[in-house]
Chains A and B, each alone.
Chain A
């Protein structure tokens, strides 16, 4: 079912089950995520795409009725083990959400906040890191003269790139993106898609998307989820041109979903 990635996978999920209270949402998910590649997660609404990636940084633990069982190995270490340091996990695995979530502070402070959580930078190191992250997120030219403006004053697309900059400023290995362009206009979406492609050299990216053209444009691998199960994982080209599973084909040709 799963295609062995050529290198050692960045993330290996083994037998992952997930529950919202009594309700089971994920069933025996097993998948390898290739390093320095973009993996798209597609599937109809409610199939468990978001639930699945929300396990990778254990953000689901904010809600007391949610729980995950199984193994999720990050570079070979099980992140679901209680001994795994949650703060360090979240530094290494960043997340971008559906709606941009700038903090109620200035553009500069939005980035400096995360950096100061994990490092003790000197003034110049801090400014250097903020600038580098904004450049990597293709936002520097637009905001370099307005670093003291509130982050919430930027446009929607700029806010989302600010969130990407904020995530990469703490030097993660993995970036999780949960439908990052669904609340953003088409022009800003195109910029973020370009950004995702440019970021994959340095980061392993897992992106949940409802937009199959988007998955086809920017991802190297695609995983198709249906009713909490991983139906198919393959190279994006293979999944879109020669799906092995009937349900994958039905979904990508628009017969349901």
Chain B
């Protein structure tokens, strides 16, 4: 039989290699560009005043985003407090009890659908649910909107992590006489701890950059977030307002806020990766 020449194969191989390399390079190039540009333009805004003071009127020197920083921290923390327990418990149900059941399959379908819902829709939903009846925007509504976004994210990663725990571990804990809930809590969660914590961190990182759901719920405020019952200052909506304003110093502050969020998300993501690596070791 006639041998197939290697030349064509080698050319195809080289072309595919080059294409995938170029594709990766393009992705990394834009990420690098964004990171550098945000760092370059935002660094100037980050002084002590940025972290300690409330905004000043346009044209007036000084002023900062202390209120918005605190507001974002409070809303995100509250959202985590609501969304993570619900998400983790949903994930535990899907992995430990709902496996192979019709109800489990429909819960999983709903969770996947919820994950695909645009965040602006969730903002509008919470707007009609909480903001309209109350008659005003509030930090609470913002936290609820972010919690709804976190729920499917944590539910899916929790399920994925728990399913990875081998059945033999479940069986041996049950065989020792442990009731099912203790097997899940004491043994299965412990075995999957690193992965579940990582999933939660990534969900926190994800919602801390959300703007659309907050536009309809927490809105924004230039004051200290002394209560979450009214419009609450937050970084992402502040970025939206300041970047769109015609004032140079506000635009500068918006860059600073971008840098702060970007650095925090990057920090949390790196922490999550480090935890995964720790787990593998």
Same complex:
yes
Q: A62-B170, A105-B190 are in contact. Are A91 and B175 (CB under 8 A)?
A: no
The answer to whether the Cβ of B245 comes within 8 Å of any Cβ in the partner chain is: no
**Which of A88, A95, A118, A170 lies in contact with B172, CB distance below 8 A?**
A95
Which residue of B is nearest A95, CB measured? B175
Compute how far the CA of A57 lies from the CA of B176 in the bound complex, rounded to whole angstroms.
10
The answer to whether the Cβ of A156 comes within 8 Å of any Cβ in the partner chain is: no
Which residue of A is nearest B100, CB measured? A64
Q: Tell me whether A118 and B191 are in contact (CB under 8 A).
A: no
Interfacial residues, chain A to chain B (CB-CB below 8 A)? 57, 59, 62, 64, 87-91, 94-95, 97-99, 101, 103-105, 113-114, 117-118, 163, 166-167, 170
Compute how far the CA of A170 lies from the CA of B172 in the bound complex, rounded to whole angstroms.
13
Given contacts A90-B174, A97-B171, 4 further A-B contacts (CB under 8 A): A95-B171, A103-B173, A113-B176, A114-B177
18 examples of A-B residue contacts, CB within 8 angstroms: A59-B174, A59-B175, A64-B100, A87-B177, A87-B179, A88-B177, A89-B177, A91-B177, A95-B172, A101-B168, A101-B171, A104-B187, A104-B193, A113-B176, A114-B178, A117-B176, A117-B178, A166-B176
Compute how far the CA of A97 lies from the CA of B166 in the bound complex, rounded to whole angstroms.
13
Compute how far the CA of A11 lies from the CA of B168 in the bound complex, rounded to whole angstroms.
25
Which residue of A is nearest B189, CB measured? A104
Q: Tell me whether B176 and A167 are in contact (CB under 8 A).
A: yes
8 closest A-B pairs by beta carbon, nearest first, are: A90-B177, A95-B175, A101-B172, A114-B176, A91-B177, A104-B191, A104-B190, A87-B177
Q: Tell me whether B177 and A117 are in contact (CB under 8 A).
A: yes
Q: A88-B177, A95-B175, A101-B172 are in contact. Are A113 and B186 (CB under 8 A)?
A: yes
B177 surroundings in chain A (CB, below 8 A)? 87-91, 114, 117-118, 170
B179 surroundings in chain A (CB, below 8 A)? 87
Compute how far the CA of A186 lies from the CA of B176 in the bound complex, rounded to whole angstroms.
27
Q: How far does the Cβ of B97 sit from chain A's closest Cβ, in whole Å?
A: 10
Which residue of A is nearest B101, CB measured? A64
Compute how far the CA of A166 lies from the CA of B172 in the bound complex, rounded to whole angstroms.
10
Q: Tell me whether B171 and A90 are in contact (CB under 8 A).
A: no
Which has the most chain A C-beta neighbours within 10 Å: B172, B173, B175?
B175
Q: Tell me whether B172 and A117 are in contact (CB under 8 A).
A: no
A89 surroundings in chain B (CB, below 8 A)? 177
The answer to whether the Cβ of B169 comes within 8 Å of any Cβ in the partner chain is: yes
Q: Tell me whether B169 and A90 are in contact (CB under 8 A).
A: no
Q: Tell me whether B172 and A97 are in contact (CB under 8 A).
A: yes
Q: How far does the Cβ of B194 sit from chain A's closest Cβ, in whole Å?
A: 10
Compute how far the CA of A103 lies from the CA of B100 in the bound complex, rounded to whole angstroms.
25
B173 surroundings in chain A (CB, below 8 A)? 103
A170 surroundings in chain B (CB, below 8 A)? 176-177
Q: How far does the Cβ of A187 sit from chain B's closest Cβ, in whole Å?
A: 23
A98 surroundings in chain B (CB, below 8 A)? 168
Q: How far does the Cβ of B100 sit from chain A's closest Cβ, in whole Å?
A: 7
Q: Tell me whether B187 and A103 are in contact (CB under 8 A).
A: yes
B174 surroundings in chain A (CB, below 8 A)? 59, 62, 90
Q: How far does the Cβ of A24 sit from chain B's closest Cβ, in whole Å?
A: 21
Which residue of A is nearest B177, CB measured? A90
Q: Tell me whether A94 and B176 are in contact (CB under 8 A).
A: yes
Compute how far the CA of A91 lies from the CA of B174 in the bound complex, rounded to whole angstroms.
10
**Which of A64, A88, A94, A99 lies in contact with B175, CB distance below 8 A?**
A94
Q: How far does the Cβ of A86 sit from chain B's closest Cβ, in whole Å?
A: 8
A103 surroundings in chain B (CB, below 8 A)? 169, 172-173, 186-187, 190-191
B40 surroundings in chain A (CB, below 8 A)? none
B171 surroundings in chain A (CB, below 8 A)? 59, 62, 95, 97, 101
Compute how far the CA of A98 lies from the CA of B168 in the bound complex, rounded to whole angstroms.
9
Which has the most chain A C-beta neighbours within 10 Å: B169, B176, B186?
B176
A97 surroundings in chain B (CB, below 8 A)? 168, 171-172, 175
B167 surroundings in chain A (CB, below 8 A)? 62
The answer to whether the Cβ of B182 comes within 8 Å of any Cβ in the partner chain is: yes
A99 surroundings in chain B (CB, below 8 A)? 168
Q: Tell me whether B172 and A163 are in contact (CB under 8 A).
A: yes
Which residue of A is nearest B187, CB measured? A103
Q: Tell me whether B168 and A57 are in contact (CB under 8 A).
A: no
Q: How far does the Cβ of B226 sit from chain A's closest Cβ, in whole Å?
A: 44
Compute how far the CA of A163 lies from the CA of B171 in the bound complex, rounded to whole angstroms.
12
Q: How far does the Cβ of B105 sit from chain A's closest Cβ, in whole Å?
A: 14
Q: How far does the Cβ of A41 sit from chain B's closest Cβ, in whole Å?
A: 17
B191 surroundings in chain A (CB, below 8 A)? 103-104
